[in-house]
């Protein structure tokens, strides 16, 4: 049975609170989301009928700055999932030291079964409904699972129409032409790449050419990560997505795979000929997780590595590009087996970091070069990785625990300084 992500998020917070002797009042405050908005979204479908979708926007904590977090379109979206993702955003922003609180949005829908027009109408109405709590100074959404640049453009346009002027700073992950940032599209994958690069150096794993990597998910994060890994010489021997999995012991040609995925609407890997292909994505994931690789990267969705499949995992390092891919039970198994897990709140923070850069550029109406973005992102990711690594050495704990210690301590200090209103 799928574990409840909100319960997982609370459990993680409770464990760290105990470890750092967090004052009970701060702990209690952080166990609650500041604001939860549930909206009904009526959409006229192409066949003339009206379907009402449910959408959420949750702001977990605003002590360190405005709320920030992606919007997800997925049939399995639940309020508890959105709350958990919002809390993880709070920790993520704190781990990399950017001045935001955590938020998340989600709409229960299946974009794979909807036309572009239906998705646009859904997006515009959802934006209008959550318009009362989002804004450049309040809460700034971004892309997440099954939402993209075009959807961000519709959000920016709808919000701008409602306030009466162009407001690029309301959302990040926009196209360049309307205030997007260089490097944002690939930022999460690139951030994961910098983390892997730093991990390989610090743990002295050797040359990229000698290292085998498996990646679950070939969407925005997975495909961009693979692109940078491939360019650096790493051998990617297995990739899965919702359409199946491709496996090649000699290494998958990522340039060709990306070209292949661009040929279909959902950018699926299905039909790629260079390697063995497993069509059933569940079987493909099973195969992927049992590969003997140096680094395994879950880059799809949450709850993928559980106590059921963790025992079969043979890798030494797991780098969580997705949010919440490993359950706490699986985490315990990895600690026992000596598998090092770089946690999501650190590993995939590149996206929100460049989102922050985008927002700063929008507010200043002054845009930076791509090389400046890459350099600044590299600095943030490597510095954060080393801060987390040092805490883990000092406290003799996992990288996840040390990332939480760092994040919760930073947020707690903000709560302490600001106090309780009134
Ligand atoms: P995306 O929609 O672009 O891609 C998701 C990928 O996962 C697709 O290839 C899809 O086919 C695959 N997938 C879905 N279910 C799967 C399953 N059961 N098995 C195998 N593959 C499956 O989404 P994304 O933006 O790449 O996000 C991926 C993960 O990274 C999510 O957990 C998201 O929350 C997280 N994340 C994304 C960003 C960002 O900037 N996009 C930032 C931080 C974290």
Domain limit, last residue, from 302, 329, 347: 347
Find the domain containing 163 and state its range. Answer: 33-178
Q: Cα(365) to centroid of ligand 1, in Å? A: 31
**Is the CB of 321 inside a 6 Å radius of any atom of ligand 1?**
yes
Question: Which atom of ligand 1 sits closest to the CA of residue 304?
Answer: 18
Residue 94 falls inside a structural domain:
yes
**Is the CB of 351 inside a 6 Å radius of any atom of ligand 1?**
yes
**Is the CB of 326 inside a 6 Å radius of any atom of ligand 1?**
no
Ligand 1 atom 43: the closest Cα is on which residue? 348
* pLDDT band at 151; cut points 50, 70, 90: very high
**Is the CB of 323 inside a 6 Å radius of any atom of ligand 1?**
yes
Domain count, the chain: 2
Q: Cα(239) to centroid of ligand 1, in Å? A: 13
**Is the CB of 218 inside a 6 Å radius of any atom of ligand 1?**
yes
Check which CATH number belongs to the domain holding 318 and give it. Answer: 3.40.50.720
**Is the CB of 301 inside a 6 Å radius of any atom of ligand 1?**
yes
Average pLDDT of the residues in 229-247? 98
Task: Give pLDDT, residue 42.
Answer: 98
Does position 316 have pLDDT exceeding 90, yes or no? yes
Does position 164 have pLDDT exceeding 80, yes or no? yes
Same domain as 210, residue 336: yes
**Is the CB of 285 inside a 6 Å radius of any atom of ligand 1?**
yes
Order of all β-strands in the sheet with 35-44: 35-44, 50-61, 101-108, 67-74, 139-143
Domain limit, last residue, from 312, 331, 347: 347
Same domain as 144, residue 228: no
Task: Give pLDDT, residue 1.
Answer: 54
Same domain as 192, residue 138: no
Ligand 1 atom 29: the closest Cα is on which residue? 322
Same domain as 268, residue 135: no
Does position 373 have pLDDT exceeding 70, yes or no? yes
Same domain as 193, residue 112: no
Residue 117 falls inside a structural domain:
yes
Does position 70 have pLDDT exceeding 90, yes or no? yes
3 state DSSP class of 343: coil
Order of all β-strands in the sheet with 212-216: 276-278, 244-247, 235-241, 212-216, 295-298, 317-319, 340-342
Same domain as 162, residue 109: yes
Q: Cα(342) to centroid of ligand 1, in Å? A: 17
Residue 357 falls inside a structural domain:
no
Pocket test for ligand 1, best of 300, 305, 322, 356 (most atoms within 8 A of CB): 300
Q: Cα(27) to centroid of ligand 1, in Å? A: 31
Task: Give pLDDT, residue 303.
Answer: 87
Between β-strands 67-74 and 101-108, what pairing exists: parallel, antiparallel or unpaired? parallel
Task: Give pLDDT, residue 258.
Answer: 98
Residue 407 falls inside a structural domain:
no
Task: Give pLDDT, residue 332.
Answer: 93
Residue 216 falls inside a structural domain:
yes
Same domain as 266, residue 238: yes
Task: Give pLDDT, residue 324.
Answer: 87
Average pLDDT of the residues in 154-170? 98
* pLDDT band at 266; cut points 50, 70, 90: confident
Backbone torsion region of residue 204, taken as left when φ is above 0, otherwise alpha when ψ lies between -120 and 50, otherwise beta: left
Residue 2 falls inside a structural domain:
no
Residue 66 falls inside a structural domain:
yes
Three-state SS for 132-183 is CCCECCCEEEEECCCCCHHHHHHHHHHHHHHHCCCCHHHCCCCCHHHCCCCC
Q: Cα(24) to centroid of ligand 1, in Å? A: 35
**Spatial CA neighbour of 254 closest among 298, 199, 215, 197:** 215
Same domain as 328, residue 303: yes
Backbone torsion region of residue 420, taken as left when φ is above 0, otherwise alpha when ψ lies between -120 and 50, otherwise beta: beta
Q: CA–CA distance from 357 to each of 38, 171, 173, 228 (Å)? A: 29, 12, 11, 21
Average pLDDT of the residues in 79-107? 97
pLDDT, one tens digit per residue, over 182-201 is 999 999 999 999 999 999 99
**Spatial CA neighbour of 189 closest among 403, 351, 353:** 351
Q: How far apart are CA 141 and CA 179, in angstroms?
A: 14
Same domain as 277, residue 207: yes
Q: How far apart are CA 153 and CA 165, in angstroms?
A: 14
Check which CATH number belongs to the domain holding 122 and give it. Answer: 3.40.50.10860
Between β-strands 67-74 and 139-143, what pairing exists: parallel, antiparallel or unpaired? parallel
Q: How far apart are CA 310 and CA 290, in angstroms?
A: 9
Does position 352 have pLDDT exceeding 60, yes or no? yes
Chain-wide mean pLDDT for the chain? 97
Q: How far apart are CA 258 and CA 225, in angstroms?
A: 12
Q: What positions carry a catalytic annotation? A: 104
Average pLDDT of the residues in 268-292? 97
């Amino acid at each position: 049975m799928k574990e409840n992500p909100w319960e997982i998020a609370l459990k993680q917070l409770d464990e760290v609170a105990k470890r750092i002797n967090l004052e009970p009042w701060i702990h209690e405050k952080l166990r609650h989301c500041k604001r939860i908005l549930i909206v009904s979204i009526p959409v006229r479908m192409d066949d003339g009928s009206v379907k009402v979708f449910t959408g959420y926007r949750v702001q977990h904590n605003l002590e360190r700055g405005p709320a920030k977090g992606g919007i997800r379109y997925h049939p399995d979206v639940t309020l508890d999932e959105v709350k958990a993702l919002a809390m993880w955003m709070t920790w993520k922003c704190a781990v990399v030291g950017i001045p935001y609180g955590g938020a998340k949005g989600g709409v229960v829908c299946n974009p794979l079964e909807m036309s572009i027009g239906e998705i646009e109408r859904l997006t515009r109405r959802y934006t209008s409904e959550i318009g009362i709590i989002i804004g450049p100074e309040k809460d700034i959404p971004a892309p997440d699972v099954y939402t993209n640049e075009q959807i961000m453009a519709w959000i920016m346009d709808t919000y701008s129409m409602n306030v009466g002027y162009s407001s690029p700073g309301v959302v990040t992950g926009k196209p360049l032409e309307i205030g997007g940032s260089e490097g944002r599209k690939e930022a999460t994958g690139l951030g994961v790449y910098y983390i892997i690069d730093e991990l390989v150096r610090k743990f002295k794993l050797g040359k990229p050419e000698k290292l085998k990597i498996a990646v679950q998910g070939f969407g925005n994060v997975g495909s961009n990560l693979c692109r940078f890994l491939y360019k650096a010489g790493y051998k990617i021997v297995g990739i899965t997505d919702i359409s199946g999995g491709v496996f090649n012991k000699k290494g998958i040609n990522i340039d060709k795979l990306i070209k292949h995925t661009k040929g279909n609407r959902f950018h699926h890997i299905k039909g790629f000929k260079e390697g063995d292909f497993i069509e059933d994505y569940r079987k493909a994931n099973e195969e992927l997780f049992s590969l003997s690789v140096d680094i395994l990267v879950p880059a799809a969705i949450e709850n993928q590595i559980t106590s059921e499949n963790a025992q079969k995992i043979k890798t030494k390092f797991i780098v969580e590009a997705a949010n919440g891919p490993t359950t706490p039970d699986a985490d315990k198994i990895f600690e026992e087996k000596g598998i090092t897990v770089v946690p999501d709140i650190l590993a995939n923070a590149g996206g929100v970091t460049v989102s922050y850069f985008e927002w700063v550029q929008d507010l200043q109406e002054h845009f930076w070069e791509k090389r400046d973005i890459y350099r600044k992102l590299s600095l943030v990711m490597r510095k954060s990785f080393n801060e987390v690594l040092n805490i883990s050495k000092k406290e003799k704990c996992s990288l996840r625990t040390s990332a939480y210690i760092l994040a919760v301590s930073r947020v707690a200090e903000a709560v302490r300084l600001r106090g309780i209103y009134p």
